């Protein structure tokens, strides 16, 4: 029975309080835990040591397959900053679709090969790619036709060695026309001080260049000299093509009055220098190594079979009294074998087709028949 003296408002307030308290205590909350911060691995670009000419990002990793982790492409080209380069002189029409040269002072001015030919520069910066640079629109306003290879090419910021003036050159990353000075000087020093020995016979291009060839004997020694030549200098008849002006690394080899010309890196069906020649120093070391290996092999055979039989096996010679193991090591294994018994003796014949027979009596060589 409800006490009529109980205040209804007070009861309502109490019920509301209890309901609110239970709701607050049963609210669902989503927690959180501390997570490890993900850090991006930084791969340093490979240092440039002038052991190769300028290489594109793609070519570098293609030529160095052992390097599994690649750096960022933009960072890769920073390896060339501070490098001195040389531009040969080319005709004004030479590959103008593959290069853009300009300066910027008060305004941007397009230049020609004569402005950079036969000059040395230092690479101050390389931007990848030209089409995304601030200069792209400025150049396009003057030069409406820009090939995709240039739009996607490298923008070189250069300073001229003598005047310290700033130049800009755009070239495709896979076919730059400059030569890295340190790289050229390193090769020149090596080639010019080295004696080369021919490791195989071949017909060489004789100097003065013409149709004449010179037969080069294996084992002959030549003195080298590095030179840069254009394709037109290597051809008896220039083709009139723009390719005539491409630059090649060539080696002039001299022996007495004879002079021959060899590609340093190879071209078309012409083989490169080191497919045809070795250095005298390297060749002598290989001979020494070969002689050492022979001495070691001879010592091992003498220890195994005794002085006489060991020497015979080393010289691939079969002699009476040898056992089957010695013969197998001297002449090799043959499957052409026959067995027979004669008056209580066991005979075995090993035949080497086109070469000879070995006859064993009771396991030892009793007779050798050579064809």
Q: Does the pLDDT of residue 66 top 70, yes or no?
A: yes
3-state secondary structure of 209: coil
Asked if 365 contacts 359 with a C-beta cutoff of 8 angstroms, the reply is yes
Q: How far apart are the first and last CA of the chain?
A: 136
Predicted confidence (pLDDT) at residue 22 exceeds the cutoff of 80: no
Mean local confidence (pLDDT), 22-30 = 60
pLDDT digits (tens, 9 = 90+) for 194-206: 999 999 899 999 9
The count of other CB atoms within 10 Å of the CB of residue 350 is 21
| Residues 54, 79 contacting (CB under 8 angstroms) | no
Reported as a single tens digit per residue, the pLDDT across 159-213 is: 999 999 999 999 998 899 999 999 999 999 999 999 999 998 999 999 998 888 9
**Residue 34: CB atoms within 10 Å:** 5
* Region 334-345 average pLDDT: 84
Span 306-370: which CATH code?
A: 3.30.1450
What is the sign, positive or negative, of the torsion defined by CA atoms of 172, 174, 175, 179? positive
pLDDT at 179: 95
Q: Give every CB contact of residue 343 below 8 A, 6+ residues apart in sequence.
A: none
Residue position matching structure tokens 């120093």: 281
Torsion of CA 280, 286, 291, 297, to 10 degrees: -170
List the chain domain ranges. Answer: 57-180, 194-282, 306-370
Residues ≥6 apart with Cβ < 8 Å to 286:
278
Q: Flag whether pLDDT at 24 surpasses 70.
A: no
User: Edge-to-edge strand order for the sheet containing 356-361?
Assistant: 337-342, 345-352, 356-361, 364-370
Q: In Å, how far are 205, 216, 328 from 250, measured between CA atoms? A: 12, 18, 50
Model confidence pTM above 0.85: no
Q: Collapsing DSSP states into helix, strand and coil, what is residue 226?
A: strand
Reported confidence tier of residue 30, pLDDT bands at 50, 70, 90: confident
The sign of the torsion formed by the CA atoms of 233, 235, 240, 243 equals negative
Identify the pLDDT of residue 235: 84
Q: Could you tell me the maximum CA-CA distance found in the chain, to the nearest angstrom?
A: 143
The pLDDT value recorded for residue 15 is 57
């Amino acid at each position: 029975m409800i006490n009529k003296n109980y205040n209804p408002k007070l009861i309502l307030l109490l019920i509301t309080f209890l309901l609110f308290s239970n709701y607050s205590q049963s609210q669902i909350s989503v927690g959180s835990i501390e997570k490890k911060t993900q850090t991006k691995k930084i791969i340093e670009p490979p240092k440039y040591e002038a052991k190769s000419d300028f290489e594109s990002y793609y070519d570098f990793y293609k030529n160095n397959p052992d390097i599994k982790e690649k750096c960022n492409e933009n960072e890769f080209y920073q390896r060339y900053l501070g490098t001195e380069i040389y531009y040969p002189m080319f005709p004004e029409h030479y590959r103008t679709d593959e290069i853009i040269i300009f300066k910027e002072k008060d305004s941007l001015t397009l230049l020609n090969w004569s402005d950079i030919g036969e000059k040395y520069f230092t690479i101050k910066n390389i931007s990848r790619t030209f089409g995304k640079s601030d200069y792209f629109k400025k150049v396009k306003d003057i030069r409406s036709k820009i090939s995709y290879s240039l739009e996607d090419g490298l923008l070189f910021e250069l300073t001229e060695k003598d005047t310290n003036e700033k130049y800009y050159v755009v070239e495709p990353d896979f076919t730059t026309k400059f030569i890295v000075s340190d790289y050229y000087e390193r090769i020149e020093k090596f080639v010019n001080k080295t004696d080369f020995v021919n490791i195989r016979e071949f017909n060489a291009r004789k100097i003065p260049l013409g149709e004449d060839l010179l037969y080069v004997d294996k084992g002959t020694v030549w003195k080298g000299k590095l030179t840069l030549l254009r394709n037109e200098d290597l051809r008896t008849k220039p083709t009139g093509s723009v390719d005539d002006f491409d630059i090649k690394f060539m080696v002039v080899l001299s022996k007495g009055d004879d002079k021959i010309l060899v590609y340093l890196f190879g071209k078309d069906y012409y083989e490169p220098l080191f497919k045809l020649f070795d250095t005298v120093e390297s060749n002598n070391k290989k001979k020494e190594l070969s002689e050492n290996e022979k001495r070691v092999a001879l010592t091992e055979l003498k220890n195994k079979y005794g002085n006489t039989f060991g020497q015979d096996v080393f010289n691939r010679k079969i002699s009476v009294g040898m056992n089957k193991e010695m013969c197998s090591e001297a002449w090799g294994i043959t499957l052409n074998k026959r067995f027979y018994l004669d008056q209580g003796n066991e005979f075995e014949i090993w035949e080497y087709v086109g070469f000879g027979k070995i006859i064993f009596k009771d396991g030892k060589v009793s007779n050798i028949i050579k064809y």
